[in-house]
Amino acid sequence: MVRFAMRWRPARSVAMVAALAIGCGDPAARVRLVALGGPACRPMSANQVRVTSYGPSGEHTVALGLDEVVAIGSFAADTEQIGVEVLIGGGEIGAEGKSAPLAFGALADGAAIPVLMAPPDGFCELPAMTEARAQPVVAPAGDGALVVGGMGPSGPLSTAEYYDPTTASFVPVDVPPGLADPQGFTGTALATLPDGRVALIGGPQRVFVVFDPRVRRFVTDPTVIGPWAFHAAIATGDQEVLVAGGCMTAPPCAGPPQMPRAVRYELPHLTAPELSAMLPPALRIGARLFDLGEQGDGRRHWLLAGGTGTAGGAARFALDDPAAEVVPGGHAQTAALDGGAVLSVFGDDAAPPPGDGSASVFAPDAAAARTIAGAPARQGVRLIALEDGRVVGFGGAAMEVVTYDPTRDAWSSRRAMSSDQTGVLTAPSLVRLTDGTVLVVGGAVSARAWLYRPSLVGPASGSVTVVPVSDTGRGVLTASDPQTVTRVAGQLPAWLLTTPADAAMARALVGGPRIATGSVSAFARVLSGGVALIAQQTAPGHALVAELAPGSPPRLVRLAGGDAHELCAGTDAVAFDPATPVTLRLAVTARDARLSIGEREVLACSIAAGERGAWGIASLGAGARLAVDSVTVAR
């Protein structure tokens, strides 16, 4: 158990002080919560501070007066993140922030825990970058971000810098000798490796080199790999990067694609890359690669989508496929959605004003992108997925934040809720950091930079409830395939999931928590067919599923390797009345799983520990229909 003391001092840069002791007899180790951000990011009219610890045992919140020092005995040593909310008049939140993921019980004496404070759904302007640059290439690097190249006042840049979240500032990064080029890093791609390092691939230098945020420098010698430009790159493992799309020269990138195939580079063998799937003959400039995860066939799939050049289609493939599958119906800007789907929206920035807001979703295994509600017509917008399941876009002449909510299949557009504003941005560079904030840079030839603070809901959240028919709830429920959802308006609104005739389930996942143990509870009406509760989903083909099919005993199965492995089953057949809502609950510990209908436990068995993943609900069986009133995921 941790003993914890805190004081909020709004007039000082170090806003919080904490002391903790691990174990009953251990000496106290002192740590500090350091609130970062300028005056506009930390309200001076605060009247209360709330501090929340997030961990396997759930959320624990303590409210403090401004000058109060309180010993808190409920913050566990296994705390994974710490959130801070500053309350102003009327009980509103004037600023909030969250630490990066941490091992709270292992912190050294004197350690500082930085928390960037900003108005909710607002910007906090950061100290300037080390150089003015437009449209640099950016990628997560540890808890911070690597910023490379871009267009400077005098032309393309061959420089780099690192955003340091511990000080909320930028520091220059030395670029290896020989990589300076008149075209800078134009057309270069970055790929973040699982350990936080970042691979820089291609561009005018035609090299592969690795940056390590722990030492804040490039740590490998540049290796010449060939002419890649404006391509997509993504890590496929600890020591491997997948590259696809783009062209042979940068700029003007007017020729054919660099390679007809996707290519895999292993870090120990960069000069001997391995060819992957054959891609369709199309020019894709600035597309993105998405990891769709393990699918129903047991193989991990990838999607190359978005960008400009050949309009519309995407390419979906497994690494050992002879050829990629063409999936038509996409648009220029893309972002990941929960459940293995990919959002696609907006047209080419070069199209005539006001632009195109057409939107679609690439659903797992769907033969074509599903058309969804259109976004406001914009040009120069760039998208990024948030931890809570929403997607936001920045840029365009309207100077508004564009938000997509998949629960309601609805777009909103409004000014950020902060005194700090970005002004007009054109194609800014975005990266989501490990504390859930979004770094925004490079929307003009400028050194200005901002952090955007969305909801604190994220992977470590203790409890999230979604009421999908509510217009005011902040929870997000994302269907893997938007075509499986019907939204009924009127006096008796409904959110209906329907399983396609050729599918086993239609799933919807709750945004935020990514946990291995906990519970998912749902209040729903089973209109036809059955219902399933989903736990530990890391991909469509990898999840723990509690199945309740009418006329059969309930059973618990683990989807993995292309098969459904039954772990255990109940004894009594289940039945549902379409007119009567039921409460369902699946609770999973590191040792067992228990399934209940109302107050009645219908299944219990021992299971092996699982992986952290998403949790949710599904209609079960071909043609099954399920009216979802609410879903709660809790640790």
Three-state SS at 598: coil
The domains of the chain are located at 2-117, 136-370, 463-634
**Beta carbons within 10 angstroms of residue 412's beta carbon:** 15
CA distance 560 to 116: 39
Q: What is the pLDDT of residue 250?
A: 67
Tell me the pLDDT tens digit for each residue of 17-26. 443 333 333 4
The answer, yes or no, to whether residue 10 has pLDDT greater than 70, is: no
Q: Provide the pairing of β-strand 555-560 with 563-569.
A: antiparallel
Q: What is the pLDDT of residue 19?
A: 39
- Classify the C-alpha dihedral 207-293-370-415 as positive or negative: negative
Tell me the pLDDT tens digit for each residue of 371-421. 999 999 999 999 999 999 999 999 998 899 999 999 999 999 999 988 899
The answer, yes or no, to whether residue 219 has pLDDT greater than 60, is: yes
Which residue reads 């291995």 in tokens? 516
Ordered DSSP codes for 297-364: TSSEEEEEE--EES-S-EEEEETT-SBPEEE----SEEEE-TTS-EEEE---TTSSTT----EEEE-T
CA distance 265 to 237: 10
CB 583 within 8 A of CB 519: no
The answer, yes or no, to whether residue 474 has pLDDT greater than 90, is: no
How big is the CA angle at 373 (ends 372 and 374), to the nearest 5 degrees?
110
CATH topology of domain 463-634: Jelly Rolls (2.60.120)
The answer, yes or no, to whether residue 524 has pLDDT greater than 60, is: yes
Across the beta sheet with 370-371, the strand order is 333-336, 342-345, 359-362, 370-371
Tell me the pLDDT tens digit for each residue of 499-514. 999 999 999 999 999 9
The answer, yes or no, to whether residue 593 has pLDDT greater than 80, is: yes
CA distance 36 to 52: 17
What's 373's DSSP letter?
P
Three-state SS at 355: coil
CA distance 195 to 238: 7
CA distance 634 to 62: 19
Tell me the pLDDT tens digit for each residue of 527-586. 999 999 999 999 999 999 999 999 999 999 999 999 999 999 999 999 999 999 999 999
Q: What is the pLDDT of residue 16?
A: 43
Tell me the pLDDT tens digit for each residue of 146-164. 999 999 999 999 999 999 9
Q: What is the pLDDT of residue 12?
A: 36
**β-bridge mates for residue 201, sequence order:** 189, 208
Task: Give the residue, 7 or 62, on which the prediction is more confident.
Answer: 62
Structure tokens at 273: 């890359």
Q: What is the pLDDT of residue 28?
A: 39
- Classify the C-alpha dihedral 129-130-131-135 as positive or negative: negative
Q: Is the domain 2-117 a CATH 2.60.40 member?
A: yes
Burial string for 163-182 (b: 16+ CB within 10 Å, else e) reads bbbeebbbeebebbeebebe
Structure tokens at 260: 């007809």
Q: What is the pLDDT of residue 69?
A: 53
Three-state SS at 205: coil
The answer, yes or no, to whether residue 491 has pLDDT greater than 80, is: no
Domain 136-370: give its CATH architecture: 6 Propeller (2.120)
Tell me the pLDDT tens digit for each residue of 231-286. 999 999 999 999 999 988 766 676 666 678 999 999 999 999 999 999 988 778 89
Residue closest to 446 by CA, chosen among 477, 425, 464 = 425
CB 617 within 8 A of CB 504: no
Residue closest to 23 by CA, chosen among 80, 82, 81, 105 = 105
CA distance 635 to 631: 14
pTM, rounded to two decimals: 0.94
Arithmetic mean of pLDDT, 173-196? 95
Please provide the average confidence, as pLDDT, over all residues in the chain.
90
The answer, yes or no, to whether residue 27 has pLDDT greater than 60, is: no
